[in-house]
C-alpha cells in the first residue's frame, strides 16, 4: 500500500520532501552560522547557544511565512491548473491538496514560533543577568559597553531595573512578538474542524488576523536588538586575539587590542521573504472583488425538506466541470463572508446550482432571507479539479457518505446527459452508486434527483444503466417498524424510491464480488467522497477483488478531493 500511495501521490511526496529539506537546510545552516561565526563571538559570550536557536528558527519562520499565503490564492491555483492542463491529471490533482499544505505550513509556523519565543526568553534572561553582573567577567564587561559610546553597545538592556516583562511590552521586537504570537494562537485554535463546522464565522473573522501577523512580522526586526561585531571592528580588534584585553585592561594599554570593539545590528529582512506573496495575495483579493461584482441572476429558488435551499443561477462566462465548487457571498447578510459550496448541476445544463443545508448562523440566515425575498448573490469560482476520470471507465462504482453525496449529483446528472446525447467519448456503460447516510431526511433533495433519473431511464428503456443502493447507518425503532409494515410496497418507505433502503453498513466484500461477477472482463473505477476509514476499506477491497490476469476484472480506487 505504501508503494501504491507513492505511485499515486509522487508529486505530493516530492513537494513534502522538498519543503522538509529546505526547512532542515535553513535551520542547520543558520544554526551553525550563528553558533560559529566570528562576528557573533561576543554576542555568544552573553547568550550562549540560545542565539543560534533564535536565529535559525527565525529563518525558517520567514520561509514558511512566505509559503503560507500561496495555497490560499485560489485564482493562482486555477491559473496553474489551466496552464498545466496538458500535464498528467495526477499532477493537476495535487493542486487540490492546497489546504492540506496550508495547514502543514501553519503547524510548522506554530512550532517554530514556540522555539523562537523560548530561545528569546532565555536570551532576555541572560542579557539581564549580564547587565546586573559586577564580577568583571566578559559578559559583564560587554554589557557595560554602552557607557563607552552610542555605537559600542551589545546588550540592549542598559539598566539594572529592567525586567524581561518590561522589554517584552515596551520594545518593538518584544511587543510585535507578543502580538504575532497571540494572532497565530487565535488563528490555529479557531481553525479546528469542530469550530469550522459549527462556528464558521468565528473561524472566518479570526483568520483575518493574518493581516496583523504580517504587519507585525515586517516590523519585528526593525529595532535590531541582536547585534554582532562590525566588519571594520573585526579587522581592527579580532575577537579571538583580543578577548583577554577586554577583561584585563590597564589604563596605559598601547596594544592593538586596546581599542573597544564596535557592534552593528542585524538588518531586518522578513519583508524580503514575504513581499512577493503579499503582492500576489493583494492581486488575488482585487481579482476576487472584481469577479464578485459580475452580475449573478438567481433563476430558481427551491426549498427542499429538512431546510435545504437549492439555488439555480446564471452568470455571464461561467464555465464549470463536474466535481467543482464555488464561493457564495450574500452582502445583505455579511459583505465579508464567503462560503464554499459544491456545484450540484451538470456542465450540460444552462444554469449552475448549489444545495445549501442549514448548518450554522450564516446558512440559517440565508435560508430565512430567501424565504422572504431574493437578495443579491455574489459568486467566485468555480474552483477545484474536474472529476472527469469518472467518464473514463466502462463500469463506475460511486460511493458517497453523508454530505459527501453532494458532488455526485453533478457527476450522475452529467453522465446521464452524456448517455442521452450518445457521447462517443463516454466509455461508461454501467454505474453502481452507494449512498451511506445516518439520516436521509437532510438530503431529501438527493432522493428527488435519483427519482427523476430513475424515471428518465425507465422511459428510455435504460433502467439498468444505474443501480443504486442506499444504506441508512442510523435509525430509530419507529423507522424500523414502518419499514416492516410496508415491506411489500413497490417503493421504499424511507426515500420513496424503487430501490429499497438497506439498514446498516455495506458488506464491501459482497458488493465487490457481485460487481466482479457481473463484469468479469471490465475495468472498474471506484470513486469515493467520504471519510479516510472508508477509503482504506475500499482500497483493500479493490486490491482483493482485482484479478491478476490482465484480461479479467480490475478495480481502480480514486479518492476524490471534492
179 or 427, which is more confident: 179
Q: What percent of the chain has pLDDT over 70?
A: 88
The correct CATH number of 387-477+484-559 out of 3.40.50.80, 3.30.70.270, 3.40.50.720, 3.40.640.10 is: 3.40.50.80
Closest residue by Cα to residue 243 from 330, 326, 104, 137: 137
Confirm if 312 and 351 have CB atoms less than 8 A apart. Answer: yes
Write down the pLDDT at residue 409.
87
pLDDT at 120 over 90: yes
**Model confidence at 45, in pLDDT bands (50, 70, 90)?**
very high
233: cell is 571592528
pLDDT at 112 over 90: yes
Write down the pLDDT at residue 481.
44
307: cell is 431546510
Write down the pLDDT at residue 468.
84
Q: In this predicted model, what pLDDT tens digit does every residue of 505-562 receive, in sequence order? A: 889 999 999 999 999 988 898 988 888 888 889 989 998 998 888 788 899 887 765 4
pLDDT at 103 over 60: yes
Write down the pLDDT at residue 130.
92
Name which of 194-203, 241-250, 314-323 the model is least confident about: 241-250
DSSP string, 507-547: -HHHHHHHHHHH-TT-EEEEEEES-HHHHHHHHHHHHHHS-
Write down the pLDDT at residue 499.
57
Write down the pLDDT at residue 165.
80
Closest residue by Cα to residue 499 from 559, 438, 541, 440: 440
Write down the pLDDT at residue 4.
52
Give the burial string for 49-65 (b: 16+ CB within 10 Å, else e): ebbbbbbbbbbbbbbbb
Q: Assign 3-class secondary structure to 282-345.
A: HHHHHHHHHHHHCCEEEEEEEEECCCEEEEEEEECCCCCCCCCEEEEECCCCCCCCCEEEEECC
Q: In this predicted model, what pLDDT tens digit does every residue of 17-41 receive, in sequence order? A: 999 999 999 999 999 999 999 999 9
Q: In this predicted model, what pLDDT tens digit does every residue of 464-479 receive, in sequence order? A: 888 888 888 865 554 4
Write down the pLDDT at residue 492.
46
355: cell is 444545495
**Model confidence at 56, in pLDDT bands (50, 70, 90)?**
very high
The separation between CA 112 and the C-alpha centre of its own chain, rounded to angstroms, equals 18
Dmax over Cα atoms in the chain, in whole Å? Answer: 113
Report the run of H or E that residue 432 belongs to, with start and end. strand 430-437
Write down the pLDDT at residue 516.
93
DSSP string, 173-234: HHHHHHHHHHHHHHHHHTTSHHHHHH-HHHHHHHHTTHHHHHHHHHHHTTT--SEEE-HHHH
Burial class (CB in 10 A: 0-12, 13-18, 19+), 349: middle
User: Which positions ≥6 away from 246 have C-beta within 8 Å?
Assistant: 138, 141, 142, 261
Write down the pLDDT at residue 489.
45
**Model confidence at 197, in pLDDT bands (50, 70, 90)?**
confident
**Where do the structural domains in the chain lie, given as residue ranges?**
2-171+223-246+258-276, 296-384, 387-477+484-559
149: cell is 559610546
Q: In this predicted model, what pLDDT tens digit does every residue of 447-469 receive, in sequence order? A: 778 888 888 877 877 778 888 88
The CATH number that domain 296-384 falls under is 2.40.30.10
527: cell is 470513486
Instruction: Give me the chain's average pLDDT, please.
Output: 85
Mean pLDDT of the 360-382 span:
91
Mean pLDDT of the 215-237 span:
91
82: cell is 489551466
User: Which positions ≥6 away from 252 have C-beta within 8 Å?
Assistant: none
| Distance from C-alpha of 500 to C-alpha of 489, rounded to nearest angstrom | 10
| Distance from C-alpha of 178 to C-alpha of 180, rounded to nearest angstrom | 6
Distances (CA, A) of 138 to 127, 135, 203, 227, 263: 12, 9, 50, 16, 15
Mean pLDDT of the 215-228 span:
91
Mean pLDDT of the 419-438 span:
82
Lateral strand order in the sheet of 352-357: 296-304, 308-315, 352-357
pLDDT at 86 over 70: no
Confirm if 98 and 310 have CB atoms less than 8 A apart. Answer: no
**Model confidence at 179, in pLDDT bands (50, 70, 90)?**
very high
Top mean-pLDDT range of 79-93, 162-176, 226-240, 441-455: 226-240
Burial class (CB in 10 A: 0-12, 13-18, 19+), 249: middle
510: cell is 459482497
pLDDT at 486 over 50: no
Count how many Cα atoms sit within 13 Å of the Cα of residue 20 in the half-sphere of its side chain: 7
pLDDT at 496 over 70: no
Q: What angle do CA 378, 382, 387 make, to 5 degrees?
A: 150
Q: Which residue has the cell 464558521?
A: 200
259 or 123, which is more confident: 123
User: Which positions ≥6 away from 217 have C-beta within 8 Å?
Assistant: 61, 65, 176, 180, 270, 274
The separation between CA 32 and the C-alpha centre of its own chain, rounded to angstroms, equals 32
Confirm if 51 and 34 have CB atoms less than 8 A apart. Answer: yes
By DSSP bridging, strand 395-401 and strand 523-529 are: parallel
By DSSP bridging, strand 395-401 and strand 325-329 are: unpaired
Amino acid at each position: 500500500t505504501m508503494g501504491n500511495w507513492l505511485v499515486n501521490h509522487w508529486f505530493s511526496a516530492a513537494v513534502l520532501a522538498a519543503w522538509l529539506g529546505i526547512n532542515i537546510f535553513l535551520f542547520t545552516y543558520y544554526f551553525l552560522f550563528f553558533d560559529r561565526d566570528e562576528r557573533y563571538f561576543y554576542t555568544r559570550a552573553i547568550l550562549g547557544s540560545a542565539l543560534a536557536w533564535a536565529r535559525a528558527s527565525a529563518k525558517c519562520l520567514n520561509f514558511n511565512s512566505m509559503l503560507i499565503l500561496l495555497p490560499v490564492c485560489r485564482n493562482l491555483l486555477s491559473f496553474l491548473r489551466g496552464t498545466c492542463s496538458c500535464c498528467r491529471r495526477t499532477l493537476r490533482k495535487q493542486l487540490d491538496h492546497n489546504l492540506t499544505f496550508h495547514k502543514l505550513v501553519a503547524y510548522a509556523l506554530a512550532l517554530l514560533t514556540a522555539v523562537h519565543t523560548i530561545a528569546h526568553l532565555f536570551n532576555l534572561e541572560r542579557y539581564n543577568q549580564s547587565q546586573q553582573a559586577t564580577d568583571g567577567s566578559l559578559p559583564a564587561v560587554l554589557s557595560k559597553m554602552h557607557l563607552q559610546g552610542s555605537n559600542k553597545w551589545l546588550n540592549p538592556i542598559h539598566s539594572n531595573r529592567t525586567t524581561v516583562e518590561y522589554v517584552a511590552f515596551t520594545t518593538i521586537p518584544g511587543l510585535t512578538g507578543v502580538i504575532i504570537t497571540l494572532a497565530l494562537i487565535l488563528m490555529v485554535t479557531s481553525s479546528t474542524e469542530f469550530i469550522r463546522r459549527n462556528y464558521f464565522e468565528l473561524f472566518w473573522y479570526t483568520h483575518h488576523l493574518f493581516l496583523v501577523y504580517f504587519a507585525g512580522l515586517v516590523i519585528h526586526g526593525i529595532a535590531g536588538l541582536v547585534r554582532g561585531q562590525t566588519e571594520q571592528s573585526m579587522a581592527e580588534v579580532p575577537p579571538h586575539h583580543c578577548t583577554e584585553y577586554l577583561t584585563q585592561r590597564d589604563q596605559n594599554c598601547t596594544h592593538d587590542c586596546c581599542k573597544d570593539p564596535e557592534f552593528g545590528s542585524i538588518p531586518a529582512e522578513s519583508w524580503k521573504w514575504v513581499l512577493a506573496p503579499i503582492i500576489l495575495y493583494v492581486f488575488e483579493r482585487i481579482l476576487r472583488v472584481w469577479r464578485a461584482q459580475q452580475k449573478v441572476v438567481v433563476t430558481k429558488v427551491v426549498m427542499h425538506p429538512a431546510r435545504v435551499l437549492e439555488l439555480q443561477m446564471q452568470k455571464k462566462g461561467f464555465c464549470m466541470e463536474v466535481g467543482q465548487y464555488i464561493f457564495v457571498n450574500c452582502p445583505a447578510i455579511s459583505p465579508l463572508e464567503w462560503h464554499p459550496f459544491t456545484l450540484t448541476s451538470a456542465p450540460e445544463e444552462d444554469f449552475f446550482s448549489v444545495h445549501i443545508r442549514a448548518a450554522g448562523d450564516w446558512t440559517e440566515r440565508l435560508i430565512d432571507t430567501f424565504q422572504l425575498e431574493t437578495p443579491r448573490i455574489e459568486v467566485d469560482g468555480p474552483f477545484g479539479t474536474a472529476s472527469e476520470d469518472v467518464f473514463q471507465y466502462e463500469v463506475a462504482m460511486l460511493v458517497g457518505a453523508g454530505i459527501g453525496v453532494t458532488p455526485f449529483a453533478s457527476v450522475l446528472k452529467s453522465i446521464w446527459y452524456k448517455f442521452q446525447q450518445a457521447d462517443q467519448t463516454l466509455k461508461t456503460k454501467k454505474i453502481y452508486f452507494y449512498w451511506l447516510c445516518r439520516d436521509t431526511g437532510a438530503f431529501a433533495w438527493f432522493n428527488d434527483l435519483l427519482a427523476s433519473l430513475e424515471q428518465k431511464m425507465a422511459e428510455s428503456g435504460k433502467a439498468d444503466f444505474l443501480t443504486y443502493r442506499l444504506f441508512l447507518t442510523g435509525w430509530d425503532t419507529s423507522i424500523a417498524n414502518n419499514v416492516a409494515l410496508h415491506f411489500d410496497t413497490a417503493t421504499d418507505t424511507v426515500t420513496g424510491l424503487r430501490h429499497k433502503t438497506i439498514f446498516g453498513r455495506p458488506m464491501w466484500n459482497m458488493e465487490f464480488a457481485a460487481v466482479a461477477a457481473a463484469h468479469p472482463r471490465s475495468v472498474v473505477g471506484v470513486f469515493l467522497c467520504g471519510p479516510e476509514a472508508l477509503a482504506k476499506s475500499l482500497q483493500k477491497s479493490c486490491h482483493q477483488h482485482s484479478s491478476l490476469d490482465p484480461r479479467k476484472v480490475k478495480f481502480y480506487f480514486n479518492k476524490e478531493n471534492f
